[in-house]
Amino acid sequence: MINQNITIEKNMTAYNLIVGEYIDQYYEKERVYFTWLKNGMSGETISWEKGDVLYVDSLSCKATNINRADMTGILTVIKERFPGLIKRIVVPEDFKCYQ
């Protein structure tokens, strides 16, 4: 299981993230999360089932402070750095340039 604080630079933005895994206490499934530490202290957290297909539009609607361009960049780097956490990322056509 991973639990790391990473900084990534993507799309002219630096993202300070905590990326980790945990076991869902109710369904006993492996889940993954990231928290975008804005200003280094706290921020929006997104979680999903490990190895899931992620839809940027859907996740961006749930995350009030993360837009689609940022969500695309963050998920793309997480998928590259930690193979197996995300099966595939479905990105709207006009946001594919942020991958």
Tell me the domain boundaries of the chain: 3-98
Contact of 12 with 92, CB cutoff 8 Å: no
Q: Give, for all 99 residues of the chain, the pLDDT tens digit.
A: 889 999 999 888 899 999 999 999 999 999 999 999 987 788 999 999 999 999 999 999 999 889 999 999 999 999 999 999 999 999 998 888 888
Helix or strand or coil: residue 57? helix
Question: Rounded to whole angstroms, how far apart are CA atoms 87 and 39?
Answer: 30
Q: What is the value of pTM for the model shown?
A: 0.91
Residue with tokens 């089932």: 49
Question: Rounded to whole angstroms, how far apart are CA atoms 68 and 55?
Answer: 10
